[in-house]
Amino acid sequence: MNKPMNNYDVLVIGSGAAGLTLALHLAARHRVALLSKQRLQDGSTWFAQGGIAGVLDETDSVDAHIADTLDAGAGLCHPDAVRFTVENSRDAIQWLIHQGVEFTREDDGEYHLTKEGGHSHRRIIHSADATGRAVHSTLIERVRNTPNIDCFEHHIALDLIRQPDAKTGRFRCAGCYVYNKDTEEVEVFQGRAVVLATGGAAKAYLYTSNPDGASGDGIAMAWRAGCRVANMEFNQFHPTCLYHPKAKSMLITEALRGEGATLKLPSGERFMERFDKRGELAPRDIVARAIDHEMKRLGADCVYLDISHKDPAFVREHFPTVYKKCLEYGIDITKEAIPVVPAAHYTCGGVMVDQHGRSDLDQLYAIGETTFTGLHGANRLASNSLLECVVYARSAALHIDSTLDTIAPPRPALAWDASRVTDSDEDVVISHNWDELRRFMWDFVGIVRTRKRLLRAEHRVRLLQQEILEFYANYKITSDLIELRNLAVVSELIIRSALDRRESRGLHYSLDYPGLRELAMDTILVPENFADQRHFVSTSVSTTEADAGEQRT
């Protein structure tokens, strides 16, 4: 039986800070469908602890924030993307305040600004140590009270729908096939514009700070639809996640180090100054590699993050979430050090977009961690991610709003055909492949890489994709199968990108190529069906890349 079509002006896939911000900016004039694969609050935004970077203090400057971002990005940031983001930081944060987000204030009523690794000034506005939750809960409440936004929870996007445009002759995005987890059926959602705001792909790794939904869905769907991706080899590993047998994906915010927490070996000895003069406030890639090095050198299961030398009242006031969560596991951070390990945290690459969030496929936009904007370069500067979500969501919304009235509604799409598939009695295949994928990604494509390990991972991921494709073609889909299919795609993109980069830069560190190449170039992967688009976005380039006049593909 054909399922009814769901027709909207704009279809937003993803319910984090980026998707919610865009939906709220468009709802005054357009009907918006907002899809969430779980509950609205189950994405990565809710769990973000640190804060939002912005130029808010009189002693700070746009140029200083730009310089810090460029420095962290190790030569691969696109200067115009960095300037665009930073120059819009104050307006983006003021918009959040206007929505009702309550950021932490000093006793005199001024906003408290903290400092994180790689920043030269205190410029991180935050809500204690649960900024993501404060932002997310506020935006969710606003969305739920906005009549023109329809929220569809427990709906997982499967694949984008492409149609040739009668006027331009180019393909356009016309909607998406969506799996309804409640009914276990596939529905069709269509819109004049489609926006991917699905987050990153850190669940490709065995250990991650991200919630279960971070399976790279938007990146995989865009790739299958013919969009280019860039810099997928730059996976940020957060240096400090709680090491405890009962803890799952618990991030220990970098703001602890910003307020004086120190990293120590099991012996109690500090070690970061041996790796970088900035010590614990070095950029995340340096800290993560240092921890990884010391753990392997000593055969240690973890290292320790210690803030117990600070006043207990200060610790409880500034880090209530970390304090309470650690206490649940029997760790009083005002009296003892926290056992920590690195874990996959942020995907710096993604779908190539311009400053309006436009992808290579007409009427397909992408915002947030799903994207490659040129902001992060080879390593994301702390707390620039939530800023990017809001800045680019506002920019994309402005472009959609100014052009949507000229875009004809898409033609009705074909219903999903599930007539030739059967129920599977071999779901163990999915769980086994899921576990194997994440394990070899961690072992072979992790913090420190070698060409031999990468080639082994590439061979295995392609075999896995063949198995997944066969399973996908013959059995009814499930949410686990959808995510496994997408994770296999993004894992191959990560591996291919890592093999292409024969140097060590930022988050990509290779024992075979420990030095820097003279020219800093993006790694751009082009899908076989890219020529179908006959249109592609023009992104900015890094300074050294512009001088060289070339890109790696």
Report the catalytic residues: 284
Angle among Cα 114, 40, 21 to the nearest 5 degrees reads 60
User: CA-to-CA distance for 210 and 249, rounded, in angstroms?
Assistant: 6
Tokens of 263: 């990293």
End-to-end CA, the chain: 44
Sheet hosting strand 124-125, strand order edge to edge: 52-53, 124-125, 113-114
Considering just the CA atoms, what is the radius of gyration of the chain in Å? 22
Structure tokens at 193: 């514009």
Instruction: Retrieve residue 504's tokens.
Output: 């060590």
Q: Do residues 495 and 454 touch, judged by C-beta distance below 8 A?
A: yes
What gap in Å lies between CA 331 and CA 334, rounded to an integer? Answer: 9
Closest C-alpha to 290, from 265, 257, 266, 258:
265
Distance, CA of 30 to CA of 23 (rounded, Å): 9
Q: Is 19 helix (H, G, I), strand (E, B) or coil?
A: helix
Q: Smallest Cα–Cα separation from 48: which of 480, 388, 439, 508?
A: 388
Asked whether the beta carbons of 95 and 88 are under 8 A apart, the reply is no
